[in-house]
Structure 1
Amino acid sequence: MGSPSGVVLNTAIDQVVAPAYWERAKTELMKNDRILRRIIPLYADDALGLPASPFVTLVRAVLSRQASRRTALRQWHQFARHHGEQPNPENIAILSSACLGQIGLPRRKAEYIIGISQHFVDGYIDVSRLQHLDNEAVIETLCAIRGVGRWTAEMFLIFNLRRADVLPLDDAALLQAISTHYFSGEPVSRFEAREVAQAWAPWCTVATWHLWRSVDAVAVHY
């Protein structure tokens, strides 16, 4: 992913190495959904990339929540410029929200990021343990952290744990894509989106990723 601010992102993070299930999922989705049959081949050479560190995934997801893509990227680049592209949670946990505010982060999100870093330091966020939990248990664990809601936890499931069947119904871009491709641009409720997504299981992550790509020229990555 390019950087408008000149920060060079870690190429290992941006490297496209699809999950093992990716090709099978695409085949089955194209068989079961006529819209995805048209969309998926448009991105045949792209896929979900390698995960960032768990801490970076959560930081970037927190910055992206209820923010435009441009704003979230600018704030991440500011953060990375001062604290590195692979920041150590121990170095962030000792900061004040005012310190992060000085580099352009909103006060509330700065507080959330510091709190998340403390959870890493304390061992509450243990990815080796999370990997053995089902999706809902991971969401429940992460949502116990201040500033982490269901959408943020779902982004962690998709981009860090690379789970195959995650359907983020609170995601505005996904609802926009469903509206565009399945409802001729009419507003879509979460119920209607869930009905459409019944044909995607157990590959909702792959369907979601391709629908994101259909409305955004650059692949999202957390």
Structure 2
Amino acid sequence: MQVLSPFTVFNHEQILKFLNRNERECLHKVIDKEVFRVIRFQNELILFSIRLEGNLQISVHNIPSKQEIAEAITKYVKQWFDLDTNLEAFYQSIEADTILSKLCQKYHGLRLIGMPDLFESLIWSIIGQQINLTFAYILKERLVHNFGESVDFHGQYFYALPTPQRLAQLSIEDLRPLQFSTRKAEYIINIAKAFAEGQFSTEKLQNLSFDEIRSELIKIKGIGNWTANYSMMKSLRYYDAFPIEDVGLQNAVKNHYLLDSKPTMIQLNEMAKHWKGWKGYATFYFWHSLLE
């Protein structure tokens, strides 16, 4: 078992609430206060869990834990729960916005739960395009259960996202029976091929600027401004990435600022001047408020 030191700003309750937001979530399971997840390490599936109570206790369940595995899981957890970010800097930077400041007080210690795997965030954002969240989770579950691998632990199955190589082998006809639209299926296969063939990777983006990364992302068919900003925010940890087109964000802002209608892009950009450097974090807090 590994134990990560306690954090001065870490809201276990709100983070568990976020992780439990949909019962169809298929890439992690929350059992009591323990979160189970499968990651792929050196072509092997590793099932680990994190106990979200006090210290973060990490356990590996399906294989003996070696140092390199422990290090890989620790790195993943830090990225997943954004443990290295100074949340107080976020809170201080948005003090001029009294509405968002109140939201930050309410959810104090909530960290931006990310997706360390860029491929996962791109696939998830494609799945979620132009459909409601409930149906998006259903499609994700069908994709994972039909084409992903799993670990059997005490009679329960824990799934990993299908690899780019596996999804790249599919045809549109393979996905249509699962209720994927032709366009959505095409986009998923295109992205999988780009990763499988080495045209695209997190490593290739690391030394590029914000605008250069966004430009590279939207070159891939199916990735627009919303998807690019979502993945930059959730996987690449660009906290000023701003998925401004997001309907959930617009609805949350409308509710909290007591607007008569959803804000326009111009209005949102004007409001976001108070969130400079942290637009992605602000977006995440607004999204989280929709779980109330």
Same fold (TM > 0.5): yes
Determine which of 91, 104, 107 is the counterpart of 1:43: 107
Equivalent position of 1:210 in the other structure: 285
The structure richer in helix per residue is 1
Structure 1 spans left out of the alignment, 5+ residues? 218-222
Determine which of 132, 139, 150 is the counterpart of 2:214: 139
1:103-142 counterparts in 2 under 5 A?
Answer: 103-142=178-217
| Alpha-carbon distance, 1:45 to partner | 4.1
Equivalent position of 1:79 in the other structure: 143
Note the alpha carbon deviations across 1:169-219, whole angstroms, 9 max, x for none: 1111111122222243433110011000001111111111111111234xx
Percent of aligned pairs sharing the same letter: 25
Determine which of 28, 50, 71 is the counterpart of 1:9: 28
Worse-superposed segment, 180-189 or 58-67: 180-189
Moved segments of 4+, more than 4 Å: 12-16
Classify the secondary structure of the residue corresponding to 1:108. helix
In structure 1, what residue type is equivalent to 2:265? R
Worse-superposed segment, 103-112 or 113-122: 103-112
Classify the secondary structure of the residue corresponding to 1:141. helix
Q: Distance in 1 between matches of 2:101 and 2:140?
A: 34
The 1:173–1:5 alpha-carbon spacing in structure 2 relative to 1, beyond 3 Å, is closer
The 1:64–1:158 alpha-carbon spacing in structure 2 relative to 1, beyond 3 Å, is same
Equivalent position of 2:69 in the other structure: none
Q: RMSD of the TM alignment (CA)?
A: 2.2
Classify the secondary structure of the residue corresponding to 2:28. coil
In structure 2, what residue type is equivalent to 1:156? S
Q: Distance in 1 between matches of 2:177 and 2:224?
A: 25
* 1:98 and 2:173 matched: yes
Classify the secondary structure of the residue corresponding to 1:35. helix
The 1:22–1:87 alpha-carbon spacing in structure 2 relative to 1, beyond 3 Å, is farther
Equivalent position of 2:125 in the other structure: 61
Q: Distance in 2 between matches of 1:144 and 1:127?
A: 15
Equivalent position of 2:163 in the other structure: 88
TM-score where L is the length of structure 2? 0.68
The 1:8–1:155 alpha-carbon spacing in structure 2 relative to 1, beyond 3 Å, is closer
Higher RCO (CA < 8 A, seq sep 6+): 1
The structure richer in strand per residue is 2
In structure 1, what residue type is equivalent to 2:87? E
In structure 2, what residue type is equivalent to 1:197? A
In structure 2, what residue type is equivalent to 1:47? R
Determine which of 6, 26, 32 is the counterpart of 2:90: 26
Worse-superposed segment, 57-66 or 19-28: 19-28
Worse-superposed segment, 111-120 or 167-176: 167-176
| Alpha-carbon distance, 1:103 to partner | 2.3
| Alpha-carbon distance, 1:135 to partner | 2.0
Whose radius of gyration is greater, 1 or 2? 2
| Alpha-carbon distance, 1:86 to partner | 2.4
